[in-house]
């Protein structure tokens, strides 16, 4: 009886691949301590739905046809930081880590991971655990900050400020307040910058294949 008395972990799924999303839901529906409270195949208005449903964990595909799980995560966490973010991605490990840092999420899981790994990640994030070592996160963040001045075409001073604050862990609302702009305007400016930083983050490294935070290919 004890298992039935334990509150279920409430999960929201965001993935634009129907087969992946259905497979995840079928997997999680077999778990007595997890309930899927909502799902979406589109980034459009996903943040609003998540905020209305108030899940414990949102599982977000990084690359969506109409947006990014990274930006959705940032929008949700700006309004309600109690909702934990777990990114689902086909990127390699280093690129997934970059996305996690930019999103302000608690962790990531690769789409090729075993079902046990996915459910374990959801449980750990739901329990308030971060899935990546803080030292590693800080190292990659420092490397990303060092690339901002070298990105080509060059970032404006305003764009550098936005990304510096985002990498520093500030929410969209906090960045908007610090820069004296509307949060909606900040979100519009930030979305392409997040995509650009992820895609450009390996350019400053030697082409010989050094294992850097941006060495990745897009597979989603």
For the chain, give every domain's residue range.
2-132, 135-200
Check if the beta carbon of residue 63 is closer than 8 Å to that of residue 195: no
Question: Over 90: is that where the pLDDT of 217 sits?
Answer: no
Question: Over 90: is that where the pLDDT of 69 sits?
Answer: yes
Residues 6+ apart with CB under 8 A from 133: none
- Cα separation, 110 vs 80, whole angstroms: 25
Tell me what pLDDT residue 202 has: 40
Check if the beta carbon of residue 30 is closer than 8 Å to that of residue 56: no
Overall residue count recorded for the chain in this entry? 220
- pTM of the predicted structure, to 2 decimals: 0.83
- The pLDDT tens digits for 91-134 are 777 788 888 999 999 999 988 777 778 999 999 999 999 999 88
Tell me what pLDDT residue 5 has: 59
For residue 35, what are its two tokens?
A: 């309930």
Question: Over 60: is that where the pLDDT of 3 sits?
Answer: no
Count other Cβ atoms within 10 Å, centred on residue 150. Answer: 11
At residue 209 the predicted structure's pLDDT band, cuts being 50, 70 and 90, is: very low
CATH architecture of the domain with residue range 135-200? Orthogonal Bundle (1.10)
Enumerate the β-bridge partners of residue 58: 12, 85
Mean pLDDT of the chain: 84
- Cα separation, 175 vs 178, whole angstroms: 5
Domain 2-132: give its CATH code. Answer: 3.40.50.2300
At residue 199 the predicted structure's pLDDT band, cuts being 50, 70 and 90, is: low
């Amino acid at each position: 009886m004890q298992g039935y008395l334990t509150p279920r972990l409430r999960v929201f799924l965001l993935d634009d691949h129907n087969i992946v999303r259905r497979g995840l839901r079928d997997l999680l529906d077999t778990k007595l301590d997890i309930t899927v409270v909502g799902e979406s195949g589109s980034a459009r208005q996903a943040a609003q739905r998540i905020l209305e449903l108030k899940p414990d964990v949102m599982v977000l595909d990084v690359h969506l046809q109409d947006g990014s799980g990274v930006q959705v995560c940032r929008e949700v966490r700006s309004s309600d930081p109690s909702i934990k973010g777990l990114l689902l991605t086909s990127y390699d490990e280093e690129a997934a880590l970059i996305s996690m840092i930019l999103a302000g999420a608690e962790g990531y899981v690769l789409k090729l991971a075993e079902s046990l790994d996915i459910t374990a990640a959801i449980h750990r994030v739901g329990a308030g655990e971060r899935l990546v070592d803080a030292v590693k996160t800080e190292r990659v963040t420092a490397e990303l900050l060092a690339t901002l001045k070298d990105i080509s075409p060059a970032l404006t001073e305003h764009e550098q400020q936005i990304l510096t604050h985002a990498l520093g862990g500030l929410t969209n609302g906090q960045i908007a307040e610090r820069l004296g702009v509307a949060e909606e305007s900040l979100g519009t400016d930030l979305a392409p910058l997040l995509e650009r930083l992820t895609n450009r983050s390996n350019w400053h490294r030697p082409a010989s294949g050094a294992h850097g935070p941006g060495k990745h290919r897009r597979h989603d």
